[in-house]
């Protein structure tokens, strides 16, 4: 596993994923250490002057008008962490907390925060030791950044509160730090504020959602192609020349993926067989348009994430000319908006997948398939309730698509009178992405069964590879009713861990 080196110019999405999900070690570059030391000299010089400087020698937020004497400043920094570590509710996932910590370290290493090099090194030491602070679901309004979640992380740096060790057991942070030879930090001027004033939680969740959605959009193209085969649809609507005259990049990529999966199919183009059709239903025919719009939304969100990954988000910031200036760069609106956009796109992708599944199960619209794909309809219910489950997931995703960023609730005695709610947008997107995986898994389950029920017709080689891989993974095929939950769980795992995409790509080559 490669070491992720943190410099002054930001990090990449792959860096975040490596640290958050894979446990990659972290190292500070020499450039970052030098920048940290230079910025700290500026803060120390300002701290020695009698003039009040926000975040250095004043209170915070609505209490910024009070000048704090030198003998109280260490207590001030310690107190802001303790008081702001006020989260409630269930614990946040380990990968989210690791992303949060790593991205705060990224900003600290920019040289714009005034934090001492030893504090940054301790942050890296925590990540490398696998110590994960306990962070709670509720406490962030997304402005000034993710205050409560970041404060719980800073509390662990101080050797206070609780954290999860590398063994997954939650224990007092002081014990974990001592076991790993990590000295708790005693925060000095501005350092407490610098550790908890950023969009790191919502950004980390955005980066991970984008990685998951890359896989899920390919997966959805594959299952849409399988459903088209199962319904004896036509692949003529996927022709490149049709999509070239409406040149949305995502639409073209989605159509190309479906066409690649369907290459060599003996099930497509049967419109005039037993039940003449002029054209397929929207859920089949417009699959590239819907998935493509979502792909383009992902592309926009990735652009925002890349800009944010290159940013130094803090207030106040240390500028190269020696000024320490207040600003509003901690506001989460840019990230919050795209988190909400992605939840909308994910809900629509799930919705169209559910409509295809329902069509496969309805004997009046499936063009010759048995009711609910049952073995002996009436005695067997087939996939009737699998579609209920899928529909419940889609309905939940529609609720999750309601934008969090359209809301704002004033805080801090009206000093923070317009907030982004970006953390909330990120939390609901994680649930939406999780549910989208399950929705695609149900479509996969139905479509593969439908194809196998088309006796005498040969599916595309890529489809056959998917079916064989799914069956080997425990995703059951046609037959009499059985306990269905294990089959659906196997389908979920097959989509979630990328085996669906890998199976298709073993024939098609890399999909877009």
The secondary structure element, H or E, covering residue 177 is helix 173-179
Rounded Cα distance between 407 and 405, Å, is 5
Catalytic residues: 54
| 315 and 327 Cβ atoms separated by less than 8 Å | yes
Tell me the DSSP string of 81-100.
Answer: HHHH---EEEEPPHHHHHHH
Contacts of 287 (CB under 8 A, 6+ apart): 221, 224, 228, 254, 258, 352, 356
Angstrom CA distances, 252 to 233, 255, 440, 485, stand at: 19, 5, 21, 36
**For residues 105 and 250, what is the distance between their CA atoms, to the nearest angstrom?**
34
- C-alpha triplet 393, 395, 397: angle, nearest 5°: 70
- Looking at the DSSP assignment, which residues form a beta bridge with residue 200? none
Please provide the DSSP assignment of 239-308 as one string. Answer: -HHHHHTS--HHHHHHHHHHHHHHTT-SSSS-TTSSS--SS--HHHHTHHHHHHHHHHHHHHHHHHHHHH
The whole-angstrom separation of Cα 105 and Cα 331 is 18
What is the rounded distance in angstroms from the CA atom of residue 321 to the CA atom of residue 299? 36
Q: What pairing do the DSSP bridges indicate for beta strands 317-318 and 136-138?
A: unpaired
Question: What letter would DSSP give residue 236?
Answer: G
Torsion, CA 291, CA 292, CA 298, CA 301, rounded to 10: -130
Axis crossing angle, helix 200-230 with helix 461-472, rounded to the nearest 10: 110
Give the Cβ contact number of residue 323 at 10 Å.
12
Beta partners for residue 172, in sequence order: 162
Dihedral sign of CA atoms 503, 506, 508, 512 in order: positive
Three-class HEC string of 327-379: CCCCCCHHHHHHHHHHHHHHHHHHHHHHHHHHHHHCCCCCCCCCHHHCCCECC
């Amino acid at each position: 596993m490669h070491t992720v080196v943190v410099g002054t110019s930001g990090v990449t999405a792959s860096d975040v994923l490596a640290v958050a999900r894979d446990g990659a070690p972290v190292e500070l570059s020499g450039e970052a250490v030098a920048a940290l030391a230079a910025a700290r000299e500026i803060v120390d010089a300002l701290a020695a002057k009698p003039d009040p400087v926000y975040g250095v020698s004043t209170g915070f937020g609505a209490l910024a008008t009070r000048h704090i004497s030198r003998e109280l400043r260490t207590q001030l920094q310690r107190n802001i962490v303790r008081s702001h570590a006020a989260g409630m509710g269930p614990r946040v996932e380990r990968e989210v907390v690791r992303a949060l910590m790593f991205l705060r370290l990224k900003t600290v290493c920019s040289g714009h925060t005034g934090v001492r090099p030893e504090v940054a090194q301790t942050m890296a030491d925590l990540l490398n030791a696998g110590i994960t602070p306990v962070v709670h679901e509720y406490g962030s309004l997304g402005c000034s950044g993710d205050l409560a979640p970041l404060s719980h992380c800073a509390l662990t740096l101080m050797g206070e509160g609780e954290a999860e060790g590398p063994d997954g057991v939650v224990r007092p942070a002081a014990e974990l730090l001592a076991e790993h030879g990590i000295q708790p930090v005693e925060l000095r001027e501005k350092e407490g504020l610098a550790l908890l004033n950023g969009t790191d939680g919502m950004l980390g969740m955005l980066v991970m959602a984008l990685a998951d959605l890359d896989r899920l959009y390919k997966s959805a193209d594959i299952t849409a192609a399988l459903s088209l085969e199962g319904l004896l649809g036509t692949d003529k609507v996927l022709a490149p020349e049709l999509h070239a005259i409406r040149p949305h990049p995502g639409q073209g990529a989605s159509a190309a993926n479906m066409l690649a999966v369907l290459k060599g199919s003996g099930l497509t183009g049967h419109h005039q067989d037993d039940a003449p059709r002029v054209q397929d239903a929207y859920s089949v025919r417009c699959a590239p348009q819907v998935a493509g719009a979502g792909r383009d939304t992902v592309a926009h969100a990735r652009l925002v994430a890349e800009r944010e990954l290159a940013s130094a988000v803090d207030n106040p910031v240390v500028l190269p000319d020696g000024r320490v200036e207040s600003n509003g760069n901690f506001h989460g609106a840019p990230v919050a908006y795209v988190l909400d956009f992605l939840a909308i796109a994910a809900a629509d992708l799930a919705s169209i997948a559910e409509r295809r599944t329902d069509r496969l199960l309805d004997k009046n619209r499936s063009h010759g398939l048995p009711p609910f794909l049952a073995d002996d309809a009436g005695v067997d219910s087939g996939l009737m309730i699998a579609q209920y489950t899928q529909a419940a997931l889609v309905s939940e995703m529609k609720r999750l698509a309601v934008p969090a960023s359209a809301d704002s609730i004033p805080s801090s005695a009206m000093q923070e009178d317009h907030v982004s709610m970006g953390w909330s947008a990120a939390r609901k997107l994680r649930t939406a992405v999780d549910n989208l995986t399950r929705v695609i898994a149900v479509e996969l389950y139905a479509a593969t069964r439908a194809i196998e029920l088309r006796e005498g017709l040969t599916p595309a080689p890529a489809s056959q590879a998917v079916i064989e891989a799914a069956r080997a993974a425990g995703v059951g095929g046609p037959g009499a009713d059985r306990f269905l939950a294990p089959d659906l769980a196997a389908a979920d795992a097959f989509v979630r861990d990328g085996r669906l995409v890998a199976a298709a790509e073993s024939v098609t080559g890399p999909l877009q």
